Amino acid sequence: MIRAGIVGSGIGLKHFNAINNYRESKVVCILEKNKKKAKLLKKKYKDVKIVTDEKVFFKDKNLNLISIASYDEYHFQQILKSINNNCHVIVEKPVCLDKSQLKKIKEALEKNPKIKFISNLVLRENELFKKIKNKINLKEVYHIDASYLWGRREKLFQWRSKTKNYSLTLGATIHILDLVCWMLESMPISVVAKTNNKITKKTKFKKFSFASYIFTFPNNVIASLKADAVCTHPHFHELKVFQKNQTFISNLNGQFEIKRAIGNHYKITNKNYEYPDKKNRKKLIQKFIDAILDKTVTTISKKSIFDLMTACFYADLSEKKGKELKINYLK
Ligand SMILES: NC(=O)c1ccc[n+]([C@@H]2O[C@H](COP(=O)([O-])OP(=O)(O)OC[C@H]3O[C@@H](n4cnc5c(N)ncnc54)[C@H](O)[C@@H]3O)[C@@H](O)[C@H]2O)c1
């Protein structure tokens, strides 16, 4: 039986809905540091223990799964505390905020190999992206162009403005980079990043709010990615996958599959796959619970999560150094 604790009641409540009553799972406790919010939670979830004290929460021996959806800066310590309490861990992206933290998390998980660990990389459960992945011919793909059009500018001015190491790469790009790595079944070899803050420079958000990256994958497959936190555009994950004789496109105009007909003539087919497909987002967490209960492997390996985080850290380092960097993954 799963007895879960949730940290944070923003997106954490989506974790709650994914976990509670799924197979043999119950959410038994929520940690919410905001006292006003905690009070409201007590009224809404009468059967769930609501706590505001982190010490009480992470020492609760009744828990065997902890799902972390606090602000980014708390993830690192809370992952270590969850492992110390012998709990499986779900953590929102980003897992942590720098490479030294990532190494410590990796070491702690290696010392406790029975603990299952996953980060909530929800795009992998999206019907549209699954369909495209299934159609990709890895021998023929040469370029992927993906943009995370965030369309939620105001969110930059809440906790994200106060978090010291907050980065748009770790907050947004990570989702589309994960999508591309999953589709290409490989990790990038190098990265170069360019950014600006033209739209936010007079605001309290002091980091870059637009970023463009070139990730080079094995066999010189190029991924051009963009993360745009300030765009005047609905929240959207744009994707174009280019292969020798076929192109897949998803943008605001729709979803298209283009095939070469004769010469420079093309056959364009409209597709109608589910997007944003929010109902399937629960599946990532629920498959993780399946892996715990059925004692099987998780859908996303620990290694692929560490590698994804490492690639993001190198992207930010490339931005700081102003040059292309080879990515050295953790051994
Ligand atoms: N996977 C996704 O698609 C996705 C989407 C949105 C947010 N996120 C991630 O989820 C996390 C939370 O973001 P959000 O949008 O829910 O923010 P939010 O501000 O809506 O909610 C966060 C809640 O957590 C509480 N909280 C923060 N730190 C805490 C701590 N140390 N202990 C207890 N409670 C704490 C806050 O009081 C707040 O109620 C961030 O890491 C963010 O990057 C992921």
Name the residue with the closest Cα to ligand 1, atom 28. Answer: 70
pLDDT at 263: 83
- pLDDT at position 290 is 98
Nearest CA to ligand 1 atom 20: 10
- Is the alpha carbon torsion for 221, 141, 299, 278 positive or negative? positive
**Ligand 1 contact, 159 CB (< 6 A):** yes
Question: Which of the listed residues 51, 58, 70 should we mutate to test ligand 1's pocket, taking the one with most ligand atoms within 8 A of CB?
Answer: 70
Segments in 145-281 forming alpha helices (H): 159-162, 168, 174-184
Each residue of 5-45: pLDDT tens digit?
A: 999 999 999 999 999 999 999 999 999 999 999 999 999 99
Does 72 sit in the ligand 1 pocket, CB within 6 Å? yes
What's the CA gap between 289 and 303, in Å, rounded? 19
Residue closest by Cα to atom 18 of ligand 1: 10
pLDDT in tens, 64-121: 999 999 999 999 999 999 999 999 999 999 999 999 999 999 999 999 999 999 999 9
CA of 324 to the centre of ligand 1 (A): 32
The beta strands (E) that lie in 151-309 are given as 190-196, 210-217, 221-228, 236-243, 246-251, 254-260, 266-271
307 lines ligand 1 (CB under 6 A): no
Could you write out the three-class secondary structure of 33-63?
Answer: CCHHHHHHHHHHCCCCEEECCHHHHHCCCCC
pLDDT tens-place string over residues 208-250: 999 999 999 999 999 999 999 999 999 999 999 999 999 999 9
Query: What's the pLDDT tens digit per position in 260-311?
Result: 988 889 999 999 999 999 999 999 999 999 999 999 999 999 999 999 999 9
Cis peptide before 276 (omega within 30 of 0): yes
pTM: 0.98
The whole-angstrom separation of Cα 257 and Cα 137 is 14
Cβ 329 under 6 angstroms from ligand 1: no
